[in-house]
């Protein structure tokens, strides 16, 4: 069976020897005569053969096509005679000749086995090249083949690859997290910045899933975030862009990340998807909070100064009760600021600003004057002095002056200093405390157990009272380790001759247990809240 130009099918002489057929081209040597007889059915076969859109044919071991269907002419523009007149390698792109030769020798080695998928480029009559993909069945002395012109397919693939590669380059080069979802809202792409921000190792862990259910399923406070309320879900379907300045994504390890994001619709293979760019705003938020705090402090600075001028600082009193008698032994004076509207402001709100902006020493002096005035009227009081004032000669002198001026009995006064305050400079703290004690005042170590050097201070400072911090007292009846700690503190204090005061007593069982553990004095809401002095 053989064929030639398409007109051969429409009734031309089918039985011609090769010499005659190539005669018009004239260039090829005779390839030996191959004669066949054709029945009616083989005539239909030839028709079929020429109608096939695939490139069909056969080749001889010496490197010539011996049989080609009409599709060849349609694809390459050469007549079949022209194609058969020269070794087929003559039509192969020079860069593909070596590989083609290698494939042919492989074929010889694999005799009889169909061979798929090899591609090379064939020159057309107009001088450009078509990419041909081969399926070859070697037979004795002949290789039959079905080939396809895959030029357009490959060009489209290359175009797609280039577009995808460009998209990937763009997506990977942005510092922000970026993802793309398909028309059904599933992730089809996530860049490495995004993967890193969300705490994953590889995009494979999230691809194919809905981003909302993976890392946007809860609000900042941990409550569920239903997907039908998610602004991102609408972007693809409605084509509307979205920008959210502050929201929360959840990392794989369960840690929330504050983020801002923008989303726009994007065309994907099966419809409108969306592209989302997101940004970790932790630093922005921290910075914002810092600025807010700074503004608040500056406002407090002004408010404290005004309050001092307008006499709006007050001292509340809280009873400290003797556990053996149940009677109030003395009061701790606790600072309050009265706003212009009459509201009571607690020290945790304004003392940090006072310390930061250098107003604390003046406040401490004021407190000292009030405390010593109360002592002069026969009241037993404890008052707090800030870390900044410890060791200041001015403060010591102020105490001495006030004692002299009012004639107050120093034994009625206890100065409370936190561990962290003496920690700054132990030598200085010790000189300060020694001087106070020599004046006749008492010294209490506040918030005992919260610092690092509790025991050192206990040994080196002339302390009368140890105030057991509220955090150990509040868990006393429920937490065995708090109980063990309080027991140990009481034991150590007693053996060093110090008196103990428990802070933050809020209920009767705690009070009873403290008494049983040998604590001498107690203070807390259960015994009396801080209140304005009567």
Output the DSSP codes for 204-248. Answer: GGTTTS-HHHHH-SB-TTS-B--GGG-GGGGHHHH---EEEEEEE
Output the DSSP codes for 233-300. Answer: GGHHHH---EEEEEEEEE-TTS-EEEEEEEEEEEEETTEEEEEEEEEE-HHHHHHHHHHHHHHHHHHH
Rounded Cα distance between 111 and 284, Å, is 71
Q: Which among 39-47, 240-248, 347-355, 513-521 is the span making contact with ligand C2E, rule CB under 6 A?
A: 347-355
| Encoded tokens for 313 | 């600082």
- C-beta of 87 vs 326, nearer to ligand C2E: 326
The least CB distance from residue 301 to ligand C2E, in Å, is: 16
* Residues of this chain, 408-427, that bind ligand C2E according to CB under 6 A: 416
Taking CB under 6 A as the criterion, the residue among 79, 151, 274, 386 binding ligand C2E is 386
The least CB distance from residue 177 to ligand C2E, in Å, is: 43
Q: Which among 40-48, 107-115, 221-229, 384-392 is the span making contact with ligand C2E, rule CB under 6 A?
A: 384-392
Kindly state whether residue 416 participates in binding Ca ion, applying the rule CB under 5 A.
Answer: yes
Rounded Cα distance between 220 and 212, Å, is 14
Kindly state whether residue 525 participates in binding ligand C2E, applying the rule CB under 6 A.
Answer: yes
Rounded Cα distance between 27 and 8, Å, is 21
Kindly state whether residue 361 participates in binding Ca ion, applying the rule CB under 5 A.
Answer: no
Kindly state whether residue 385 participates in binding ligand C2E, applying the rule CB under 6 A.
Answer: yes
Kindly state whether residue 446 participates in binding Ca ion, applying the rule CB under 5 A.
Answer: yes
- Pick from ligand C2E, Ca ion, none: which does 370 bind, CB < 5 to 8 A by kind? none
Taking CB under 5 A as the criterion, the residue among 384, 386, 389, 474 binding Ca ion is 384
- Pick from ligand C2E, Ca ion, none: which does 319 bind, CB < 5 to 8 A by kind? none
Judged by DSSP in three states, 46 sits in helix
* Residues of this chain, 237-276, that bind ligand C2E according to CB under 6 A: none
Checking DSSP bridges between strand 521-522 and strand 531-532, what pairing results, if any?
A: unpaired
The sign of the CA dihedral 76, 80, 86, 88 is positive
Residue among 119, 155, 160 at smallest CA distance from 136: 119
Q: Residue 264 pairs with which residues in a beta bridge?
A: 275
* Residues of this chain, 74-103, that bind ligand C2E according to CB under 6 A: none
* Residues of this chain, 487-516, that bind ligand C2E according to CB under 6 A: 503-506
Return the number of other C-beta atoms located less than 10 Å from residue 501's C-beta: 29
Rounded Cα distance between 219 and 263, Å, is 19
Kindly state whether residue 2 participates in binding Ca ion, applying the rule CB under 5 A.
Answer: no
Q: Which residue of this chain has its Cβ atom nearest to Ca ion in the complex? A: 416
Taking CB under 6 A as the criterion, the residue among 276, 304, 359, 367 binding ligand C2E is 367
Kindly state whether residue 447 participates in binding Ca ion, applying the rule CB under 5 A.
Answer: yes
What's the chain's Rg over C-alpha atoms? 47
- C-beta of 116 vs 525, nearer to ligand C2E: 525
- Pick from ligand C2E, Ca ion, none: which does 40 bind, CB < 5 to 8 A by kind? none
Residues near ligand C2E (CB under 6 A) are: 318, 334-335, 346-348, 351, 364, 367, 383-386, 416, 446-447, 470, 503-506, 523-525, 530
Residues near Ca ion (CB under 5 A) are: 384, 416, 446-447, 503
């Amino acid at each position: 069976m053989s064929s030639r130009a398409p007109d051969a099918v429409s009734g031309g002489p089918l039985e011609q020897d090769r010499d005659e057929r190539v005669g018009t081209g004239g260039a090829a040597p005779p390839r030996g005569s191959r004669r066949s007889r054709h029945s009616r059915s083989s005539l239909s076969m030839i028709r079929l053969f020429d109608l096939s859109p695939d490139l069909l044919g056969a080749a001889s071991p010496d490197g010539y096509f011996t049989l080609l269907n009409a599709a060849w002419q349609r694809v390459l523009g050469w007549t079949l005679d022209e194609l058969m007149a020269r070794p087929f390698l003559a039509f192969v792109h020079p860069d593909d000749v070596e590989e083609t030769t290698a494939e042919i020798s492989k074929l010889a080695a694999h005799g009889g086995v169909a061979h798929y998928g090899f591609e090379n480029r064939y020159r057309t009559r107009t001088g450009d090249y078509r990419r041909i993909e081969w399926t070859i069945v070697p037979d004795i002395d002949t290789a039959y083949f079905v080939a396809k012109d895959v030029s357009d397919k490959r060009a489209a693939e290359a175009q797609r690859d280039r577009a995808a590669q460009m998209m990937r380059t763009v997506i990977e080069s942005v510092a922000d997290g970026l993802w793309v979802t398909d028309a059904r809202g599933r992730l089809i792409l996530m860049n490495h910045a995004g993967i890193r921000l969300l705490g994953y190792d590889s995009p494979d862990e999230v691809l194919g899933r809905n981003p909302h259910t993976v890392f946007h399923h809860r609000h900042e406070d941990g409550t569920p975030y239903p997907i039908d309320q998610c602004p991102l879900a609408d972007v693809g379907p409605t084509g509307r862009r979205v920008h959210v300045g502050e929201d929360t994504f959840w990392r794989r390890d369960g840690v929330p990340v504050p983020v801002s994001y923008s989303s726009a619709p994007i065309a994907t293979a099966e419809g409108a998807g969306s592209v989302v760019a997101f940004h970790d705003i932790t630093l922005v938020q921290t910075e914002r909070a810092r600025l807010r705090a700074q503004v608040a402090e500056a406002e407090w600075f002004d408010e404290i100064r005004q309050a001092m001028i307008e006499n709006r600082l007050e001292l509340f009193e809280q009873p400290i009760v003797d556990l053996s008698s149940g009677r109030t032994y003395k009061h701790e004076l606790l600072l309050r600021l009265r706003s212009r509207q009459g509201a009571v402001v607690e020290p945790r709100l304004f003392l940090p600003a006072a310390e930061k902006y250098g107003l604390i020493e003046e406040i401490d002096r004021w407190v000292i004057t009030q405390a010593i005035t109360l002592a002069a009227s026969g009241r037993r009081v404890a008052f707090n002095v800030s870390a900044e004032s410890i060791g200041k000669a001015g403060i010591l002198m102020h105490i001495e002056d006030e004692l002299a001026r009012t004639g107050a009995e120093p034994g009625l006064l206890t100065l409370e200093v936190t561990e962290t305050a003496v920690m700054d400079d132990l030598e200085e703290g010790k000189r300060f405390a020694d001087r106070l004690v020599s004046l006749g005042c008492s010294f209490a170590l506040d918030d005992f157990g919260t610092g690092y050097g509790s025991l050192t201070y206990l040994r080196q400072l002339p302390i009368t009272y140890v105030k057991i911090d509220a955090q150990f007292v509040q868990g006393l009846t429920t937490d065995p380790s708090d109980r063990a700690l309080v027991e140990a503190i009481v034991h150590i204090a007693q053996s060093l001759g110090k008196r103990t005061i428990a802070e933050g007593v809020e209920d009767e069982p705690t009070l009873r247990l403290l008494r049983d553990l040998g604590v001498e004095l107690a203070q807390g809401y259960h015994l009396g809240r801080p209140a304005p002095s009567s």
